[in-house]
Chain A
Amino acid sequence: MVNLTINNQKVTVEDGITIMEAARRNNIHIPSLCYLQGIHQAGACRICVVEVEGAKNLQASCITQVAEGMVVHTNTERVRRARKMLYELMLSDHSQDCLTCSRNLSCEFQALGKLLGVDDTRFEGERSPFQVDASVSVTRDMTKCILCRRCVTVCNEIQGVGAMSPQNRGFKTEIGPAMKLPLGKVNCALCGQCTIVCPVGALNETDSTRDVWEALSDPRKFTVVQVAPAVRVALGEEFGLPAGSRVTGKLAAALRRLGFKRVFDTNFAADLTIMEEVTEFLTRARDALTGKGAVLPMITSCSPGWIKFIEHNFYELLNHLSTCKSPHCMLGALVKSFYAESINVKPENIYTVSVMPCTAKKFEIEREEMVNNGNKNVDAVITTRELAQMIKTAGIDFLTLPDEEFDNPLGLSTGAADIFGLTGGVMEAALRTAYELVTGREIPFDGLHVTPIVGLEQIKTATIKFIDVLPEYSFMEGLELKVAVTSGLAGARMLMEQLAKGESPYHFIEVMGCPGGCMMGGGQPRSSDPDVREKRMSGLYSEDESKQYRKSHENPYIKLLYEKYLGEPNGPKSHELLHTHYVPRGKFNELTTEDFVIEIDESTKRRVARATRQEAKVPALVKAEPETVSARILELEAENRKLKSELQDTQETVEIMKLVLSKYSKQG
């Protein structure tokens, strides 16, 4: 334990923590900007500076560790002035069009200005070169970037992707891919984790709400919407509810009020995915165990960010991926075939929208493979955040909505589908069905939860022994099925490196691209609740437990769908509609000509034009106002002192040289 004084208050805290943490634990709030507890502690923005007695300079409290006897002041005039000055300097290179920014009123930078009491912008000067770069999933607007580097940490360290890093130096520093390459042309997984941590509007999902509004107001379009499992435990946060609140019923009601003709549930397709994926797995297992040879482990394919990651980095392992499309693309394909036929609407006139916790899903629907009979499976993907925005724009009072049901037949789902939204969920859902298909008995875990793979650890493993199997699955008798579950691409990389070396002991691997799974996806609400993961997770588990059916194969509409339309799992019709293949892309996208860059939209272009005009008007100089003048005077005086001492040094050297010369000339 360490004893120190913060703002004249004697406190005792544990060793090794930072001043910021020590202060927080004693209810002293130090303003910060780039700091993200446990993730990004780099001292980059320096807003959290404090005065430490005995130290010459102000110290960044997010990286300075407490020490015995330390005396800290977090709220002196010097500290307040420094923070304001830092803020204004950051503001001077920020586009400042807050009123038309998607982060207006949800911007951390804006909130900080208010907190610090900044009421003036003293610095007007050159702005960094303007750049907006749009990929199908993520848009980078570098005019808003304040160089906090949170995205760099998340992309490089948490996800281990490394698509963006600081480029150039000093004033020209820009966070982005190498050599000004656009995001849509590099190894970015488009997972959108950077959009979650960005404190300003610099990194965002690429807007799709315009297209969706247009479709909704087009009388020729038959609009069909579907919702991913993770959305129902997060959307409420955008309306002030605590993290993890289940709003499934209100969600269905809101979508109906937005004007969608049918409100379906991606969960239905999650159940369908389990039927297809488990069948695929059991076929591979049979072939492997009966000596025919098959590629194992099989790896799940629901997460498009993960798919893009493996296509870039481990493309030699693509045959390990399940060929199943992700659930929402399956549902889209069914809506435009099976459902279109049943209601007698031409698939061309159907507009399918998916509400997803994910930015990579926006990329997925643009893949050439996600097309059947010339129709895109899904026409537009909006994130949870975008849906919240649409509900607000439409004037729907979300919190007072009644609970409504999804439309059938593509709206009924089992509890197994709900847990697709969290790490370990797809594997658990698959095991619930696989175990029962093979043995005729329920999987022997309390509450059907496969406990070893429940939780938020990076890599989780389990072994399930199959004994007393049904005769048709005799090849599984005695098998100790080894499974691994990971979420986040850094964990995926570890498992793939193991696999590439031929050392993977597993039969079946679940990968979700975002740490924690879809519930923490790049399209989810940005949360300031430190327990958001646990809360959303328990929301999804309780959604699962509340269901009448808990296992995908029990879903009556799934059975009906196979009877009436698809035939059997992995049958020809399934293969046509529900399965896909993958594209080797290469580390630098060098193996394909496909890219996911899009043109920036009209409103952004107008903004670019406006900013350029502004830049021409503002001369590149610092407006000197009283306080700045004093700072400049101090600076000049310091320089003067430095020059004087240098001059003195030089004069001394000259004297010495003269002395030496005179000695030599005397000798000579």
Chain B
Amino acid sequence: MTAETAKEALSLEEKERAYAQIANVIDLYRRKEDSLVQILHLAQEIYGHLPLELQQFISREMNIPLSQVSGVVSFYSFFSTVPRGRHTIRVCLGTACYVRGGKKIVEYLQDKLQVELGGTTDDGSFTFEVARCIGACGLAPAFMIDDTVYKQVNVNKLDKILGQYY
């Protein structure tokens, strides 16, 4: 399954390193409850996603009940409790991108990658999302892979772009 493949991406050693790093982050924020969102944000950056086990770790370290940690994680759509792909594709569907063919890009990618919106590809390469607006309206239609913005794309360019990420 999707989740399993991506989980295997982290070896035990990497996992331990990630936990140590997260513990460090918590220390940097002095275990302050107010900083929970930032800590979760960084934890997801480090670990990739926020599974129950990691939420328990954060709950224990910060002395915040698990139900409250999970409450915050489930509140914000940015947080994910299931493994994410190695790369995140965000297709802009803001007004400008939408009218200039953003939807076609979504359809093409869905078909090519065989993935639902919000889902992760079977090989764990990509997590597929849409964004409301990425602030590149003049370059519409645009989409992002991780932190790179691809501008004025059309369906013919997509294969080449995706090819760089395998």
Residues of chain A at the chain B interface (Cβ within 8 Å)? 156, 161-169, 176-179, 186-187, 587-588, 590
Contacts and interface: CB of A to CB of B under 8 A. Distances in A.
A164 B56 contact: no
A163 to B, nearest CB: 6
A132 B94 CA distance: 39
B10 to A, nearest CB: 20
A181 to B, nearest CB: 8
Contacts of A162: 64-68
Nearest to B81: A179
Contact of B71 (A167, A187, A590): A167
B67 A588 contact: no
Nearest to B76: A169
Contacts of A179: 52, 55, 70, 74, 81
A165 B75 contact: no
Given A178-B55, A179-B55, A163 B67 contact: yes
B66 A186 contact: yes
B6 interface: no
B70 A187 contact: no
A169 B68 contact: no
A87 B74 CA distance: 27
Contact of B67 (A167, A169, A590): A167
A156 B81 contact: no
A646 B82 CA distance: 39
B69 interface: yes
Interface string B104-125: 0000000000000000000000
Contacts of A178: 52, 55, 66-67, 69-71
Contacts of A588: 56, 59, 66
A176 B75 contact: no
Contacts of B71: 165-167, 178
Interface in B35-69: 52, 55-56, 59-60, 64-69
A138 to B, nearest CB: 14
B75 A177 contact: no
Nearest to B60: A587
Given A178-B55, A179-B52, A179-B81, A168 B66 contact: no
Contacts, number: 55
A156 B64 CA distance: 10
Nearest to A587: B60
A176 B67 contact: yes
Contacts of A156: 65, 68
Interface of B: 52, 55-56, 59-60, 64-71, 74-76, 81
Given A167-B74, A169-B74, A161 B65 contact: yes
A168 to B, nearest CB: 5
Contacts of B69: 178
Q: For the complex of A and B, list the 7 residue pairs with the smallest distance between their C-beta atoms, beginning with the closest.
A: A162-B65, A178-B70, A165-B67, A165-B71, A178-B66, A168-B74, A169-B75
Chain B interface mostly = helix
A426 to B, nearest CB: 28
8 contacts: A162-B66, A165-B68, A169-B75, A177-B66, A177-B67, A179-B55, A587-B60, A590-B56
Contact of A165 (B55, B65, B76): B65
Contacts of A165: 65, 67-68, 70-71
Nearest to A161: B65
Nearest to A169: B75
Given A161-B65, A162-B66, A179-B81, 8 more contacts: A162-B67, A169-B74, A177-B66, A178-B52, A178-B66, A179-B70, A179-B74, A187-B66
A260 B56 CA distance: 47
B66 A167 contact: no
Contacts of A177: 66-67, 70
A183 to B, nearest CB: 10
Contacts of B74: 167-169, 179
A588 B60 CA distance: 9
A81 to B, nearest CB: 31
Nearest to B75: A169
Max chain B CB contacts within 10 Å: which of A167, A168, A178, A187?
A178
A187 B60 CA distance: 13
A588 to B, nearest CB: 5
A152 to B, nearest CB: 9
A325 B68 CA distance: 33
A520 B59 CA distance: 30
Nearest to B69: A178
Contacts of B75: 166, 168-169
Contacts of B81: 179
Contact of B65 (A163, A168, A169): A163
Contacts of A164: 67
Nearest to A164: B67
Contacts of B66: 162, 177-178, 186-187, 587-588
Max chain A CB contacts within 10 Å: which of B52, B65, B69?
B65
A310 B154 CA distance: 61
Contacts of A587: 56, 59-60, 66
A115 B56 CA distance: 44
A161 B59 CA distance: 13
B83 to A, nearest CB: 15
Nearest to A167: B74
A162 B71 CA distance: 11
A587 B57 CA distance: 11
Max chain B CB contacts within 10 Å: which of A165, A186, A187?
A165
A165 B67 CA distance: 5
Contacts of B52: 178-179
A588 B53 CA distance: 10
B140 to A, nearest CB: 16
A642 to B, nearest CB: 15
A169 B60 CA distance: 24
A167 B60 CA distance: 19
A178 B81 CA distance: 12
A587 B52 CA distance: 13
Contacts of B70: 165, 167, 177-179
Contacts of B65: 156, 161-163, 165, 187
Contacts of A169: 74-76
B137 to A, nearest CB: 12
Contacts of A161: 65
Nearest to B71: A165
A169 B69 CA distance: 14
Contacts of B60: 587
Nearest to B51: A179
A177 B74 CA distance: 12
Contacts of B59: 587-588
B163 to A, nearest CB: 37
Nearest to B57: A588
A169 B74 CA distance: 7
B75 to A, nearest CB: 5
Nearest to B52: A179
A176 B75 CA distance: 13
A177 B67 CA distance: 5
Contacts of B55: 178-179
